[in-house]
Amino acid sequence: MRLALAEAELAPLTGDVPVGAVVLAADGTTVLARARNEREATGDPTAHAEVLALRRAAAAVGEWRLTGCTLLVTLEPCAMCAGALVQSRVDRVVYAATDTKAGAAGSLWDLLRDRRLNHRPEVIAGVLPEPAAALLTAFFRSGRPLDR
C-alpha cells in the first residue's frame, strides 16, 4: 500500500485527485504495474489509477486475465473501476480509504461481491486508511474545483 500511496502523492502535481494503485503478481511481491489518477493530465475520463494499473499489468503479462494478481489502491474503487476489476479477473482488491460518495466495494455499492457477476475478487478494506484520507483531505481543502 505504501507504493500506491507514493503514486497518489504525485497525482496532484498535474491537478489530479491523489489516488494511486499498484498491481502485484501472484507471488504477492512482484510489482507488475503502478499508476495514479491521470484524468486531468490526459483529459481521459477513464484514466483512474485502477484502470491505468490494470492496463499496464495486462501489458506486462501479455494478456487481459490477471488471475492470481492483487490490486492495491488508496481509495475504494468506483463503479467503473470495480467493473474493470471484475473483468480483469484479479484475485484480490485491497484498498485504504472508503469512499462513501462513489465507493463500489461496500460503501455505496458492492459490485465486487455481487453474486450475480461471474467473478468476485476478495476485498480487503482499511489498509493504511489514515495517510490515504489525509492526502485526499489536503487536496480538496487546497481549493481545487470539485468535478468541473
Catalytic residue positions, numbered: 50
93, 85 Cβ separation under 8 angstroms: yes
Residue corresponding to grid cell 490477471: 66
The three three-digit cell numbers of residue 111, written as one number: 459490485
23, 69 Cβ separation under 8 angstroms: yes
Task: Dihedral sign for Cα 53, 23, 65, 83, please.
Answer: negative
Residue 64 is which amino acid? Answer: W
Alpha helices, H only, the chain: 2-10, 39-42, 49-61, 79-88, 129-141
